[in-house]
Structure 1
Amino acid sequence: MANLKSLAKDTAIYGLSSIVGRFLNYLLVPLYTHYMPKDSGDYGISTNVYAYTALILVILTFGMETTLFRFANDEKYKSDTVFSTAFATVGSLTAVFLLLIFGFISPISHALGYTEHPDYLLMMAVVVALDAIQALPFSYLRYQKRPIRFASLKMLFIVINIALNVIYFVLLGKTSVFYVFFINLLCTGLITFFFLPDLFRIKWKFDGKLLSEMLGYSWPILILGIAGILNQVADKIIFPLVYPDEADANVQLGIYGSCVKIAMIMAMITQAFRYAYEPIVFAKSKDSDKTQYYASAMKYFIIFTLLAFLCVMGWMPVLKLIIGADYREGLGVVPIVMMAEIFMGIYFNLSFWYKLIDKTIYGAWFSLAGCIVLLAVNIIFIPKMGYWACAWGGLAGYGTAMVLSYVVGQKKNPIPYPIRDIVYYFIASMTLFGMMKWFAIKTDWPEWALFLINNFLICGFVYRIIKCDMPLSSLPVIGKKFKKN
């Protein structure tokens, strides 16, 4: 329980930068959807370009974030040497990437449909390069158990980014997506500058033999990462390419991209959990009770992500106000995308069995299988179903990877997951969600009454958690007060 409390505490701190930061970034969604008219397609362009940058970032980091944890926790190596070797690798890849982009910007911008705006691609190329350079210092902060420093830098980026967006769009009346990319470039460059003190404290040493071992470990993670990020962004890359109405493609993608922002609450929770959980898993790999710990962590992760799902669905009358009125027609995809994110989080939890036995190739195959399913659903059904195919494709892709990882993992490295409890919570949450939908469709009650009913149902779910699985006295920090009472 002590380790679980530590996990919860670190998750809360990392979540401050992730959840609060994403919440503040939500303030940009109504800003963009108000100042960038739907018919301009600018929000769709933003969604498309950021999808490409997410994919490129995974390639440039080359799986070195997880590899850093694996080798830094190995007593044979000094952590600074591991960091130095990984950083040199990522830095070299990033330099080559920038040379290629700046050298061949004309054919690249033409191929991607941005012939008239190569400046968009150049700005975001520099942004993704700086993000890749920052990735390992951020990971090293996690290895060093410095969540406050980590969260402070993340929050600094977010606050400055929001402030500049408000200045440009609200005060100066700008309406072009150009300023979205320009502001991102300014903020990313500033955060890179703030990492200089951390880099100066490193005892730099490159180890070629160590690099060979690290690459052997990381390349399957790279394949896994590419397949994994494609599961998240492939729909946004493919959509303009296969949607039958080329002129309307960015408009529809803008609707989908704005509504998906609400579903990304689940991605925040998963990311915060990952930041805290990943270093702990490798550090605990030698303990005798590790399998029980992994099983408990999976259970509580699923419980709280399902609670988050119900909260978002129950609070949709309020949360939908985040999206501009012209974009709300796509809100129906939110529960599908949120459930896909839960599947992705479960898959992440399941992934440690092959990472801990250095069989990361399994993860590459699982993610590749999920990616193939997602691509097939998108390519086949986007022309017929539009952005609904994007939502269902993500669910099918993550579901495939999750099931494969569980089935193979229980044979190769079995962990006693509490399947009965997990299934119960899934059934309970889906039943409550069904009741919310039933009241919304079958009654003509005012929205405030439906909102109260939704919250009553959510409270019932919380009561079950407190009564059976997590009494208040067991919580970190505040649990002491309940024990006294």
Structure 2
Amino acid sequence: MGKYKNLLVNVGIFGLSAVATKLMAFILMPLYTLYLSTEEYGIMDMATIMVTTLFPVLTLLISEGMLRFTLDDKSKAAFYITETMLVMLASCVLLAILLPVFDLPIFGGLGRYKIWFLLSYAALCFPSVMGTVARAMDQMKLIAYASILSALIMGVLAYVLIAGMNLGLMGYFYSYIVGNGSAILVYLFAGKQYQFIDFTVWRNNASLRKQLWRYSLPLAPNSLCNQIQTTVSRFIITGVLGISASGLYAAASKIPNLLNVLQQIVQQAWQLSAFQEFKSSGLKHFYDVIWRVYQALMSVGSALVITLSPFIARVLMQHQFYSAWPLISILVLAFYLSAINNFLGTIYQAYMRTKPLLIATIVGTVSCLAFTAMFVHSWGILAAALGVLVGSLTIFVIRVIDIRRLMRVDMRPFPTAITMGLLAAQSVVTLIQCDHYLSLSLICLLSIAGAQCYELKPLINLMFGRRKYTA
């Protein structure tokens, strides 16, 4: 039971971090939609999307390789961490050189805030990498401390600067940079992470660089899957329908992020455990158990958000933003498939087989872009939501088939297919708002919850020691 206990502890720590950061974003959403125009909101969202998109592009996710190899051999940690921090600095310099590109119309006015965008990139990405260092070096509690402090500072500043001082979009940038930047101080001084930087070790272990980069390079497209689909969809919407339509789509996209809180908590803990337990006995059994729990949490959470989406939207989407709420159901279904894709992707990473992730990502991204470009003129922003769904579904099919080469994880095909069918039906009735759609949506939610309770019964028996679990 030790591996399950460690997983639960990690879930708790990542949970505190997620509650502090992700939920703060939802607390601030009514503030943004109330005080910012649709154009300002669109620029704000474009800045956020570009930061999260450029991070894997400019750093090639070297931090993920650092995590995997440091957990495998901590005696080489100084090399991996030093290499990662140098890459981070280089990414900031490269972004500074590329800043004039953001004057292009496709970025919807982001070019007017170039310097603040660069600072936002640094303020978000350095704490993210330092958090990965904390995971690798067993500084788990530090992640929660840094996240709570940065979220509180950002939230207080946002209300003071935007609502109190009417600074608008600049108030957002100030609060974002200062809030996230405070986490850097926590990692540097409370965690003393500067001690992990050693240029002598870095110079004397250059032979390790090749394996680190061989592992990390294919991970960037995998991480980019959601960002590329979302970002290019924004570009298409902005180019065809205007920045205001992009703002509406962005507002609808925020509510499915409620599920990202849950998914990222479980995913980060699962990834850490998958790496730590890779060389232990009973690996397949462990993965089978975690799959059941993961699938249950993602499916029930998705169904619950779809059921509550009209009510959540009334609170979080003010004024003209509310008209985009029906898109939420499609975006939640896409999220569910993406969550499964992330679970399977972690298995590839545990086996250090990252190249297949690149293939699936390319195919899925092309599917998303082709669908969106083909139908955006006639279907509007709905085409972008459906395009993300098509891309996620394509990646899901490829990975489910290909993963068998590494491990035959028992994904419970029949119960999983039923769950997916119910989620799809729930999404459709909510999207078209047919007669009694709320009642039909509730029936789907209860059916999914019942099916998952039945699936988790063996795990409950395991936890209470009634009998040995058999997957």
TM range (shorter): 0.7 to 0.9
Alignment of 1:250-329 (within 5 A): 250-320=243-313, 321-329=315-323
Secondary structure class of the residue paired with 2:352: coil
Kindly provide the amino acid, as one letter, of the partner of residue 291 in structure 2.
Answer: M
Between the aligned partners of 2:172 and 2:328, the Cα distance in structure 1 is: 24
Partner of 2:468: none
Contact 1:73 1:283 in 2 (8 A): yes
Contact 1:120–1:181 under 8 Å retained in 2: no
In structure 2, the residue matched to 1:110 is 103
- Superposition deviation, residue 363 in structure 1: 0.6
Going from structure 1 to structure 2, the CA distance change for 1:5 and 1:474 (only over 3 Å counts) comes to farther
Give the distance between the partners of 2:413 and 2:442, measured in 1 at CA.
27
Q: For residues 334-349 of structure 1, what are the structure 2 equivalents within 5 Å?
A: 334-349=328-343
Distance in 2 (alpha carbons) for counterparts of 1:443 and 1:82: 56
- Equivalent positions of 1:49-64 (< 5 A) are 49-64=47-62
- Match in the other structure for 1:386: 380
Unaligned runs of 5+ in 1: 445-449, 481-485
Aligned to 1:29: 29
Worse-matched range after superposition: 337-346 or 121-130: 121-130
Tell me the amino acid that sits aligned with residue 101 of structure 2.
I
What is the Cα-based RMSD across aligned positions, in Å?
A: 2.9
The equivalent of 2:86 in structure 1 is 88
> What is the identity percentage for the equivalent residue pairs of Structure 1 and Structure 2?
16
8 Å contact from structure 1 (residues 65, 135) kept in 2: no
Cα gap change, 1:49/1:436 in structure 2, threshold over 3 Å: closer, same or farther?
Answer: closer
Q: Is the 8 A contact 2:43 2:108 kept in 1?
A: no
CA distance in 1, matches of 2:430, 2:384: 24
CA distance in 1, matches of 2:153, 2:70: 33
- Is the 8 Å Cα contact of residues 58 and 229 (structure 1) preserved in structure 2? no
Query: How many residues get paired?
Result: 458
- Are the counterparts in 1 of residues 127 and 181 from structure 2 also a CA contact under 8 Å? no
AA aligned to 1:149 is: L
Match of 1:141 in 2: 134
| Aligned residue in 1 for 2:469 | none
Report if aligned partners of 1:61, 1:135 keep a CA contact under 8 Å in 2: no
Q: 1:433 to 1:224 in 2, by over 3 A?
A: closer
1:469 pairs with 2:438: no
Deviates more, 1:64-73 or 1:386-395: 64-73
* Equivalent residue runs for 1:183-262 within 5 Å: 183-197=175-189, 198-202=192-196, 204=198, 205-206=201-202, 207-241=205-239, 243=240, 245=241, 249-262=242-255
Does structure 1 residue 164 correspond to structure 2 residue 157? yes
Flag the 1:70–1:166 CA change in 2: closer, same or farther, 3 A: same
Could you tell which deviates more after superposition, 397-406 or 134-143? 134-143
SS at match of 1:73: helix
Matches of 1:467 and 1:275, distance apart in 2: 26
Structure 1 distance, partners of 2:339, 2:449, is 21
Residue 233 (structure 1) shift: 2.7
Structure 2, unaligned runs of 5 or more: 466-471
Q: Which residues of 2 match residues 64-75 of structure 1 at below 5 A?
A: 64-75=62-73
Report what 1:447 is aligned to: none
1:179 matches 2:177: no
Which deviates more from structure 2 when the two are superposed, residues 286-295 or residues 252-261? 286-295
**TM-aligned CA distance change 1:196 to 1:380, over 3 Å:** same
C-alpha distance in 1 between matches for 2:74 and 2:252: 48
Q: Distance in 2 between matches of 1:119 and 1:340?
A: 33
Indicate the SS of the match to 1:80. Answer: helix
> How far apart are 1:338 and its partner, in Å?
0.9
Task: List per-residue Cα deviations over 1:342-391 (Å, max 9, x = no partner).
Answer: 11111111123432333311111111111111111222222222211111
CA deviation string 1:241-299 (max 9, x = no partner): 2x1x4xxx111111111111111122222211221111211111112311222222222
Report deviation, 1:119: 4.5
Per-residue CA deviations over 1:12-55 (Å, capped at 9, x if unaligned) read 331232245322221221111111234xx211122222222211
Cα distance in 1 for residues equivalent to 2:58 and 2:461:
41
Query: 2:415 maps to what in 1?
Result: 421
Cα distance in 2 between the residues matched to 1:304 and 1:366: 24
- Provide the C-alpha distance between the structure 2 equivalents of 1:357 and 1:461, rounded to a whole number of angstroms: 32
**Conserved 8 A contact 1:160-1:187:** yes
Query: Equivalents in 2 of 1:302, 1:200: separation in Å?
Result: 39
Q: Is the 8 A contact 1:57 1:131 kept in 2?
A: no
1:132 corresponds to: 125
Q: Secondary structure at the match of 2:363?
A: helix
Change (3 A) 1:51 1:475: farther
Judge which range, 202-211 or 463-472, deviates more: 463-472
Which string of whole-angstrom CA distances, capped at 9 and with x for unpartnered residues, describes residues 68-103 of structure 1?
1221133384223322222223323333333x14xx
CA contact (8 A) 1:340 1:398 kept: yes
Within 2, Cα distance between the matches of 1:434 and 1:116? 35
